[in-house]
Amino acid sequence: MPHFPAPLSSRLPTVGTTIFTVMSRLAQECGAINLSQGFPDFNAEDVLFERAAHWMRAGHNQYAPMAGCLPLRERIAAKLDALYGAHYDVDTEITVTAGATQALFTAVAACVHPGDEVIVFEPVYDAYVPAIELAGGKAVRLRLAAPGYRPDWRALAAAITPRTRMIMINTPHNPTATVWHRADLDRLAALVRDTGIIIVADEVYEHIVFDGATHASCAAHPELAARSFIVSSFGKTYHITGWKVGYVAAPRALMAEFRKVHQFNVFTVNTPVQLALADYLADTSRHAELAAFYQAKRDFFRAGLAGSRFELLPSHGTYFQLARYEAISDLGDAAFCEYLTRDAGVAAIPVSAFFADGHDDKVVRFCFAKNEATLAAACEKLNAI
C-alpha cells in the first residue's frame, strides 16, 4: 500500500474511534451480550418494511426533493402540531435528514463561525464537539453533576458571553437518562432572551419518557421555538437505527441556512424509505405507545438487577440505564467495561467517554432496548459478579 507523501495535519487531532464502535467490536470479539451501543435487537413491524418494498417496486427510486418527500414532511408537521401545538411550514421549515447526527452536524456547520462559542453539557454525546470544532468554533463545556445530572443555571448564565453563538441541549438525555421539564425550558429562555443565541435541541428520544411524564419540547415553547433547531430521529422511534433517517424543524430563517449546507453534505435521503415512513406515521398510536413499551423493558431490566451489587440510578427517559459499580470494583470505568465484556460477558459504555477530561464517577451505561430474553441473560451474568 503506498504511503501519503507528506505530513497530514488533522482537523480533529484529539479524536479517535468512537466508544460505541470500540465497545461493540469488543463485544463481538468476546461473544458478549452487547448492551453498549444504543440499538434494538428486535425489528420494526412488518408493515413498515412492506411499505418500503411497495414504493421501491412502484418505481420511487430516484432522488427525493432536497428538503424531503412532501408526504413525509406533511406527516412531521402534523405530528409537531398535534403533540406540541407547533405550526411549521412544510415547504420552508421542515427538512428530512440522513439521521439525527447529520442534522446536528449540519445545524452547527450552517450557523457557527470561526471563534464562536457553543455551550454543551457534559456528559455530552460524542458527535457535538467534533462538529463545533470542524466549524472553527469553541466548545464551552458545563458539567452535569452525578447522580442527578441536572443543569446548573448559575453556571450557564456565567458561561454566556458576547461570543456565545449556540447552546446545544439534549432531552431526554443520552447517556444519563434524565429529562428536562417545562421549568427548565423557561429558565433557558430567560437566559437567552434578547440575544442572538441559537438553540439546537436534540430530542431524538422524545417519545421515550417514563412514569407518566411528558416530553418538554422546545417546539412547544414559543419563545425557544423561534430560535431553535428541533432534531428528532425515526431510527430511535421505530427501531430502525440502520435506516439513518431523521428530521429538523426550525424557523424559516434558520432553515434557509441549514438547507444551504444540507444540499451539499447530503442533498437528500433515500426516497422509498421516506415514503414508507410517511405511510407509517399515519397511525399515531405507534409513537404514542413507545413510552409504555420501553418502560416495561426498563422495569424488567431494573428488577433483574435488583439483587446485584450495582447501584442503579434513575432512568427517566431514553432506553438507557446508568449504574454505579463502586461496590464491585476499584477500576476506572473504561477498564471496568473491558472487564465486564471480557470476563462477565456483557458490554457497557463507560460514562467517562462523554467527558473531555475523562471525568470518572465510576458509572457505566447499559442499553435496555433489547428483547427480554437478551436482558434476562445479561442480568444473570451481571448478578454473578
Residue 289: how many CB atoms within 10 A of its CB?
Answer: 11
Q: What pLDDT does 20 receive?
A: 83
Whether residues 32 and 68 fall in one domain: no
End position of a domain, from candidates 286, 319, 347: 286
Whether residues 32 and 82 fall in one domain: no
Whether residues 120 and 216 fall in one domain: yes
- Rounded distance between C-alpha atoms, residue 352 and residue 359, angstroms: 5
pTM to 2 decimal places = 0.96
Tell me the pLDDT tens digit for each residue of 58-77.
999 999 999 999 999 999 99
Residue ranges of the chain with pLDDT lower than 70? none
Q: What pLDDT does 2 receive?
A: 81
The count of residues in the chain is 385
Whether residues 156 and 225 fall in one domain: yes
Q: What pLDDT does 14 receive?
A: 84
Whether residues 95 and 197 fall in one domain: yes
- Domain of 339, in residue numbers: 19-44+288-383
Cell of 43: 425489528
Q: Domain holding 198: CATH number?
A: 3.40.640.10
Whether residues 267 and 329 fall in one domain: no
Q: What pLDDT does 96 receive?
A: 98
Whether residues 240 and 194 fall in one domain: yes
Tell me the pLDDT tens digit for each residue of 186-230.
999 999 999 999 999 999 999 999 999 999 999 999 999 999 999
Helix (H, G, I), strand (E, B) or coil at 371: coil
Backbone conformation region of residue 136, classed left if phi is above 0, alpha if psi is from -120 to 50, else beta:
left
Q: Domain holding 340: CATH number?
A: 3.90.1150.10
